[in-house]
A and B are shown apart, each in its own frame.
Chain A
Amino acid sequence: QVQLQESGPGLVKPSQTLSLTCTVSGGSISSGSYYWNWIRQPAGKGLEWIGRIYTSGSTNYNPSLKSRVTISADTSKNQFSLKLTSVTVADTAVYYCARGGRGIDPWGQGTLVTVSS
C-alpha cells in the first residue's frame, strides 16, 4: 500500500525558508486521480491545510499562506516538496504530507519543524 514519509530540517531560523520533502512508496505520484497535500498541526492544536499538487503539476494553496508557499513535485524521485519562506515562530508545527482522493489518506507520520533562533 502507499506510504508517505516526510523529511527535512527540524530546526529553521526565523526569516529563513522551511523546506520539506515527502517521499512516496508503494505507488506513483504521477498516476491515478490523486493529489498530494501538505497539512500542518501546531503542538496541541488543530489541523491546517497548506496546499496541494495534482499529478498534472497544478497547485492550490491556502490563501493565508499563499504568498509564502510553493509545492512542487519530482516524479523521477516519486517525491513532492514544500517550501515556506520568511518563517516565524508561528510556523512551528508538525508538518504532514498526505494523499488526496476520496478523502485525504494515507498520511505520513509527520515531522516536527521548530522555528527558533
Chain B
Amino acid sequence: DIVMTQTPLSLSVTPGQPASISCKSSQSLLHSDGKTYLYWYLQKPGQSPQLLIYEVSNRFSGVPDRFSGSGSGTDFTLKISRVEAEDVGVYYCMQSIQLPYTFGQGTKLEIK
C-alpha cells in the first residue's frame, strides 16, 4: 500500500494568518496519463469529509480561493492563505493512483 504521511499532525493558527500542511507519499503519484492523483479533504467537526482539492492543485466547486494545493511526485502541500474560523477541522490527503486508496493520518487545525 502507498503510505501517506502528513505533517504536522496538529496546528493552531490565529485568524487571518496562513497555514500549511505537508503530505508525502511513499511512491510517486504521477500517472502515465500525466495526472497526479493527490487529493485534499477537510472533515469539519461532526461532519463527513468534503473534497477541497483534486489532482494536486484544482479547487473543487465552491471551495474558497484561500485554499491552494501544490507539489509533484511524492511531496505535496495544502496552503490556506488566511485562516478563518470555519476552516477548523481535520485535513486529510489521499492518493488514488493505486488500490487501495490510502489517506494520511490527518492534520487537526485549531484556531488560536
- Does B48 sit within 8 A of A, measured CB to CB? yes
Q: Mark B73-105, 1 if CB is under 8 A from A, else 0.
A: 000000000000000000010101001111111
Instruction: Count residues of chain B with CB under 8 A from any CB of chain A.
Output: 21
**A46-B92, A47-B92 known; A103 vs B51 contact (CB < 8 Å):** yes
Alpha-carbon gap, A104 to B39, bound state (A):
9
Chain A binding surface SS class? strand
Number of A-B contacts (CB under 8 A): 52
Residue from A47, A61, A98 with most neighbouring chain B CB atoms (10 Å): A47
Of all chain B residues, which has the CB nearest A108?
Answer: B48
**A62-B100, A102-B54, A102-B55 known; A109 vs B48 contact (CB < 8 Å):** yes
Asked if residues A47 and B48 are in contact (CB atoms below 8 Å), the reply is no
- Does A116 sit within 8 A of B, measured CB to CB? no
Q: Mark B30-44, 1 if CB is under 8 A from A, else 0.
A: 000000000101000
Question: Which residues of A come within 8 Å of B, CB atoms?
Answer: 46-49, 60-64, 96, 98, 100, 102-110
